Amino acid sequence: LSLHGLLISAYHFVVCVGSEWRQCSSVSPPTTVVLLLFLIFESLLFSIFTAVMFFTQISAIWNDETGIEQLKKEHGNWERKSRWRSVQAVFGRFSLSWLNPFTM
């Protein structure tokens, strides 16, 4: 959603500059610019945060250890799974439904 907000606001900004701000918004051009810049900034912040959290979790799954174990440099007594088996334990068998947030 953050990426979508970023793309829509960038598109709106380009369209408004191309039409010289006429018939672009119901508010004044300076207000529109401020709101678009705020939306772009907010979208970038949330995109970066989400990407960092995603890659942290993928790294934990890939290495078959928790974040606490990574910080303490502890290794469990259990036999570690292969990376692919760790991913399958979390997501299930590979299918295109991995990319669909509405599947169960």
Decide if 89 is inside a domain.
Answer: no
Does the pLDDT at position 51 exceed 80? yes
Its sign, for the CA torsion 29, 32, 36, 42, is: positive
Decide if 64 is inside a domain.
Answer: no
Decide if 34 is inside a domain.
Answer: yes
Identity at 95, one-letter amino acid code: S
Does the pLDDT at position 67 exceed 80? no
CA–CA separation, 25 and 12 (whole Å)? 10
pLDDT at 76: 66
Contacting residues for 56 by C-beta, under 8 A, at least 6 apart: 67
Decide if 22 is inside a domain.
Answer: yes
Identity at 23, one-letter amino acid code: Q
Decide if 46 is inside a domain.
Answer: yes
Decide if 43 is inside a domain.
Answer: yes
pLDDT, one tens digit per residue, over 3-15 is 888 888 888 888 8
Number of domains forming the structure of the chain: 1
How much of the chain, in percent, has pLDDT values that exceed 70?
A: 94
The DSSP output letter for 79 is P
- Positions of E strands within 41-101: none
Does the pLDDT at position 44 exceed 80? yes
